[in-house]
Amino acid sequence: MAKKTSKYIHEYKWSNIFAMIRNNMRAPNICNDNFRNKLVVITGATSGIGYITARKYAAHGANLLCVNRNPEKSEKLKIEIESEFDVKCDYLIADLSSLNDIFRVSNELSALEQPIDVIIHNAGVYLTKRELTPDGFEKVFAVHYLSSFIMNYILMKKLKAQENARIILVGSEGHRFAAWGLKLDDLNWEKRRFSGLKSYGSAKTAQLLSMIVFKEKFENSGVTINTMHPGAVKTDTGQENGRVYRWFKKNIFDKTLKSPEISAEALYYLGVSKDLEGISGKFFNLTKEEVPAPPALDKEVAFELWDKTLIMTALNELNLKT
């Protein structure tokens, strides 16, 4: 690991940090193209970025299939979207920290007869204390990384057969909190002191590393995969944390944040705009391309993580021709 750390130190560039700072102040590119009768899958669509994004796509004529945790909120969203925009808004209920739920919804999506035009992996969680899922995985890692990995992996065959689809990972500049890279021998934070920022950064770094391999898997198939930092926007993330964190979020953090409308604009642009045709494996701050931190560009680690993920999720036991 010391060798990797030394490698990363030499790869960091101030110009990339300054670019990030500049891009944080820029508005996203806008796309107003019609998307009527296209199918968009969004995870975590009942609040925050996912909710505004669902409305954005519906306003342009897209049909929605939302993967949410709460049945009541999902039904409310369905009624709202269908009555207001005259499109279809279906939903699947799943806890994306549960491998059983992730596999179930991934297989249901894979079995759909109609093509999926855009997949937006938006569901997320931020925790200040370490939690394990029933499957024994650190929860932030499971929700942000494992859920999108499993879904993309199981959907590979379907998406390739369609010869056209866009996958968007809602990532974060927060991947830079994992400044010295992933600890592949301690993804569950059993050997280190848990930190909310570092665990979040590690999960988002893992997401970016998976994109490197998925890009290769989708090469020349018409399927693209990109990652987007959604901007400094106000969301409901972190409600699982204690009273002190929630107070600071409501009274201090949130007062400095922007509307999630800018995130929705960017997600629509990345999912629909002809400017993005054939563009894959990129990291965007809203709609401005950026260079991720060096640990998120490490191809060797990307393939090590890929193989490790196949084993830990038992995907390596599935006979999937990808």
Whose CA is closest to 229, among 253, 262, 202?
A: 262
Q: Which pLDDT score, from 0 to 100, does residue 120 have?
A: 98
Q: Which residues of the chain have pLDDT under 70?
A: 1-2, 232-258, 319-322
Q: Which pLDDT score, from 0 to 100, does residue 176 have?
A: 92
Q: Which pLDDT score, from 0 to 100, does residue 322 have?
A: 52
Q: Which pLDDT score, from 0 to 100, does residue 2 have?
A: 60
Compute the distance between CA of residue 1 and CA of residue 267 in angstroms, rounded to an integer: 35
Q: Which residues are catalytic?
A: 200
SS3 22: helix
Helix (H) or strand (E) holding 225: strand 223-229
Domain boundaries, the chain: 2-230+258-313
Q: Which pLDDT score, from 0 to 100, does residue 23 have?
A: 84
Q: Which pLDDT score, from 0 to 100, does residue 57 have?
A: 98
Q: What is the pTM of this model?
A: 0.90
In tens, the pLDDT along 6-25 reads: 888 888 988 888 888 888 88
DSSP 233: B
DSSP 262: H
Q: Which pLDDT score, from 0 to 100, does residue 313 have?
A: 97
Q: Hunting for tokens 């079995």 — which residue is that?
A: 111
Neighbour count for residue 167 (Cβ, 10 Å): 26
Q: Which pLDDT score, from 0 to 100, does residue 188 have?
A: 95
Whose CA is closest to 109, among 56, 40, 189, 14?
A: 40
Structural contact between residues 85 and 60, judged by C-beta atoms closer than 8 angstroms = no
Compute the distance between CA of residue 101 and CA of residue 96 in angstroms, rounded to an integer: 6
Whose CA is closest to 155, among 108, 209, 203, 100?
A: 108
Assign domain 2-230+258-313 one CATH number from 3.40.1440.60, 3.10.440.10, 3.40.50.880, 3.40.50.720: 3.40.50.720
Compute the distance between CA of residue 316 and CA of residue 284 in angstroms, rounded to an integer: 31
